[in-house]
Structure 1
Amino acid sequence: MAARVPVGGRRGCDLDEILAAGALVPSYQPLVDLESGAVVGYEALARWPVTGRVDPATAFTEARAQGRLEELDWACRLAALRGALDTSLGNEQTLFVNMEASSSVAPRSSAARTLVDEAIHKLRVVLELTENSLLTHPSELLRTIRWAREQGWGIALDDVGVNPDSLALLPFVAPDVIKLDLSLVQQTPGPHQARTIAAILAHAERTGAVILAEGVETHDHLEQALAYGARYGQGWFFGRPGPLPEAASTARLPFTERPAEPPTTPFELIREAKDLRVGRKKLLLAMSHQIERQAMSLGDPPVVLAAFQTAEWLTPRTSRRYACLAVACPFVGVLAAGLTRPACPGGCHVSLAASDPLVGEWAVIVVGPHYASALIARDLADGGPDRDRRFEFVITHDRETVVSAGRSLMGRITDAVRGGDQMSPELDLRA
């Protein structure tokens, strides 16, 4: 239930007033099948009818400034769930509930836990996260997604198209629903829109993700949404936000529950590969540098993930290379055992436990909207000078393999953030 309208009205607002009991009343905007016109679900939006005109964007901006964003976010989320439960929305229709990526995923009070548990059992919920959070809070967003998957909830990525750099993170979010930002639907298509739509269509084709268009207000908007591949939509053309109907439609928005992936390592994923071979470190260094250079040269900036066994192999020269990557790419993650200092400014750094099987592996993984490449290697630990150390390895451009290997590293980053072990605070990596 984050803000979905332009900022207007008062410049500030009284948070205590809008958080008072009874002040927050959720409103629900219908989501429709663009072919049949049937209502398949609702997005919950925040409204404060008894306090005068309070703009949601203003409320969330004020809450962020006062350090109370999570408090307001949870109030909106709980109100949305309670409203749907009170009207017996059921689990045929889909309820879209917005969430700030920086908020805690688990309810803290017993009353909130009880309400969320009831919603898990009685409602079909899709948690809606903004595209912007991919760049500002990527690790926290992945933590939230894991929690939602564990509850059997779906994931929608909102406002897709605002920042093309976030498209590289789509494979790691694996959204069930991609919501096209209204700027894509309402504006004349240009190079920016074409780049975004091409990446979205490619991802949807590979994964079966559902495309939903926001901001459909005219027949021309509807026509453009359909041309972009949207099957579902929302906007004033179909209905304004309001109370939930007493009798809900039985039409259903399809999405497949995606369970959290079991922990593994990149090498475990390819250990049976037919092209597995043996090479010395000096060869693998040249190959890994080539993959890094490729990441820097791509027109669509990729996600870069690397596992370096132990901190001793993160030389100053390596740190400088990854600092440059962190400036150019939407997300850079570095993992190694024994890290006592940040591996590269602007990146995400995780110190591995000495017992983690990943410590025996070396991986450099690059995933872009249209490009994927990885070096995945395991140390044979048979001695010799450092540059002559031998590794079993593969170089692969198979997208499914590369993405799966990347997810195995992202899973460790998510666990580190959830456990508070991440070495550096999450920042806007493109600031």
Structure 2
Amino acid sequence: MPDIHDVLDRRAVTTLFQPLVEIASGRVLGYEALSRGPAHSPWESPATLFAAARAAGRETELDWICRARAYEAALTAGLDPALSWFVNMEPAAARTACPADLAPVVAYARHHLRVVTEMTERAIAVDPSGLLTAAAACRTAGWGVALDDVGADPMSLALMPFVHPDVIKLDMALLRAPGDPHTARVVAAVAAYAETSGAVVLAEGIETEEHLAVARTMGATVGQGWHFGRPAPLTGPTGPSASLPLITPPRADPRTPFGIVGDRRPLARTTKAQLMPMSRHLEALAADGGEPSVLLACFQDARHFTPATERRFARIATSSPLVAAFGTGLTDEPAPGVRGACLGDDDSLRGEWNVIVVGPHRAAALVARDLGDDGPQGERRFDFALTHDRALVVEAARSLLRWLAPVRTPELLVG
């Protein structure tokens, strides 16, 4: 029996496809690619296959293999070019080059297929910065992005506006517990995001007419599940099809949070001592446990990231999808679970003290700029603004991600 290395060396992966259907019309909008290992082998199950590849240190290579095989099957099927192909991707793979033997089909697919890259909630907990990097890389390549299994872990809701998915895939467990308070919170957060962004809501796991009815009440316009078709090889056109709309990604603003917020909100001037209670209040919003929230904070210099601050941020990180600290002299992980970004002495962000909190139902930002005073720390003066405008807060938060998760070029997707 072949071992996992033999399976990977032979690229012995096959792809099944499950249709994604427009609920109102019954038209097929696309297919999700579902990878399988060699039939009748221990690696046939995708979970077992990826676990073995992970243990062998070849998980990102397997990820490239699965995507390349999916693109190959889609390209040779001869289906409507307007269809969208949903293909899963591990964010870590965006940081590795495509294997040379797979690069031609991946590059060809980039120009001839409408690809929507699916990213999972698991990636948010394991590697949030990798998830954001991968999403940015897909956008740069002109592909769509779907956030998968939304609702399985409430952490995904906080990162949703940063990933800015074209498609939100509701976890199938929500259909089976429509009366659960957790389901209601997830559906409300997803509906709010979809209404402001234009994203498509897709319900997974639709197996019955009852599931279909529940999916409609949750705002889903696209469905996936055995009710519409089981995973199978592509066999050619099976009925009317249409194109899934993709949304316009947010424009990257090159300014810092202070520049973004200060341009649209009145500025005031005060001392560091007066700003501290405001800063602590925003940290408390992220730490209250009511909902998982993203916390991004700029400290200017590592000496301001005190032992007490380190303990607070480490505590918040245990229940947050992303906690990050920015400043000169900070390490990659200045506290357990906290992402660090080390700033250069001449970095434009170095003169700012920012605290930004984004949750599924809350958003707040304190942005401040150091006026360069000498003297006692508590008497140093800052110009500052405070806002709870969600769109403005998210825009300011996004501006920090280029320090934490640099945008990768399209070449990373095509090798």
TM-score (norm 1): 0.89
Q: How many angstroms apart in 1 are the aligned matches of 2:144 and 2:295? A: 26
Alpha-carbon distance between aligned partners in 1 of 2:136 and 2:111, rounded to the nearest angstrom:
18
Alignment equivalent of 1:44, drawn from 8, 33, 36:
33
Equivalent runs, 1:126-205 vs 2, <5 Å: 126-205=116-195
* Letter matched to residue 409 of structure 1: L
1:371-403 superposed Cα distances (whole Å, 9 cap, x missing partner) = 111110111114332211111110110101111
Amino acid at match of 1:82: E
CA spacing shift, 1:13–1:186, aligned 2, 3 Å: farther
For 1:362 and 1:88, locate their aligned partners in 2 and report how far apart those are by CA, in whole Å.
Answer: 55
* Secondary structure at 1:284 match in 2: helix
Which amino acid in structure 1 is aligned with residue 107 of structure 2? D
Give the secondary-structure state (helix, strand or coil) at the position aligned to 2:229: coil
| Cα pair 1:134 1:141 within 8 Å, conserved | yes
In the alignment, structure 1 residue 59 sits paired with structure 2 residue 49: yes
Say if 2:378 is the partner of 1:387. yes
Q: Match for residue 352 of structure 1?
A: 343
Query: Could you tell me how far 1:179 is from its partner in structure 2?
Result: 0.4
% identical equivalent positions: 46
Name which of structure 1's ranges 18-27 and 341-350 shifts more when overlaid on structure 2.
18-27
Deviation per residue, 1:68-101 (Å, 9 max, x gap): 2112211111100111112244641000001112
Structure 1 residue 13 displacement after superposition: 8.0
**1:406 Cα offset (Å):** 0.9
Structure-2 residue corresponding to 1:32: 21
**Alpha carbons of 1:115 and 1:183: their partners in 2 closer, same or farther (altered >3 Å)?**
same
Aligned equivalent of 2:325 = 334
8 Å Cα contact 1:131/1:159 also seen in 2: yes
Q: Matched residue of 1:358: which SS?
A: coil
Per-residue deviation, 1:186: 2.8
Q: Offset at 1:165?
A: 2.6
Name which of structure 1's ranges 344-353 and 265-274 shifts more when overlaid on structure 2.
265-274
**Contact 1:101-1:140 at 8 Å conserved across structures:** yes
Unmatched 5+ stretches in structure 1: 1-11, 419-431
TM-score by length of 2: 0.92
Q: Which among 252, 261, 271 is matched to residue 252 of structure 2?
A: 261
Aligned to 2:412: none
1:263 touches 1:411 (CA, 8 Å); kept in 2? Answer: no
Note the C-alpha offset of 1:105: 4.7
Verify the 8 A CA contact 1:302 1:329 in the aligned structure 2.
yes
Please report the RMSD computed on the Cα atoms of aligned residues, expressed in angstroms.
2.3
For the 8 Å contact 1:140–1:417, the answer to whether it is kept is no
Deviation, structure 1 residue 206: 2.2
Match of 1:8 in 2: none
Q: Is there any run of 5+ residues in structure 2 with no aligned partner, and where?
A: 410-415
Whole-angstrom distance in 2 between the partners of 1:295 and 1:304? 6
Q: Tell me whether 274-283 or 240-249 shows the greater mean CA deviation.
A: 240-249
Contact 1:23/1:51 (CA < 8 Å) preserved in 2?
no
1:77/1:280 CA distance change after superposition, 3 Å: same
- Alignment length (residue pairs): 407
* Matches of 1:61 and 1:250, distance apart in 2: 36
Tell which has more relative contact order, 1 or 2 (C-alpha 8 A, sep 6+).
2
Q: Determine if the alignment matches structure 1 residue 96 to structure 2 residue 86.
A: yes
1:15 match? 4
Q: CA deviation at 1:292?
A: 1.2
Paired residues for 1:241-320 under 5 Å: 241-247=231-237, 249-258=240-249, 261-320=252-311
Asked if the contact 2:21–2:27 (Cα under 8 Å) also holds between the matched residues in 1, the reply is yes
Question: Are 1:13 and 1:62, in contact at CA under 8 Å, matched by a contact in 2?
Answer: no
The aligned residue for residue 221 of structure 1 is 211
- Deviations along 1:209-258, one digit per CA (max 9) or x if unpaired, are 11001111111111111111100011110111223243474411111242
| Deviation at residue 37 of structure 1 after TM alignment | 0.5
CA displacement, residues 130-187 of structure 1 (integer Å, 9 cap, x when unaligned): 1121111101111111111110011001111111133111111111101011111234
Q: Give the conservation status (yes or no) of the 8 Å contact 2:115–2:144.
A: yes
Residues 91, 384 of structure 1: alpha-carbon distance in 2 compared, 3 angstrom cutoff: farther
Q: Choose the corresponding residue for 2:401, options 410, 423, 427.
A: 410
The answer on whether the counterparts of 1:350 and 1:416 sit within 8 Å (CA) in structure 2 is no
Asked if the contact 1:216–1:234 (Cα under 8 Å) also holds between the matched residues in 2, the reply is yes
- Inter-CA distance 409–230: structure 2 relative to 1 (3 Å threshold): same
Residues in 2 aligned to 1:47 and 1:330: alpha-carbon distance in whole angstroms: 30
C-alpha spacing 1:37/1:65, structure 2 compared with 1 (3 Å) = same
AA of the residue aligned to 1:206: T
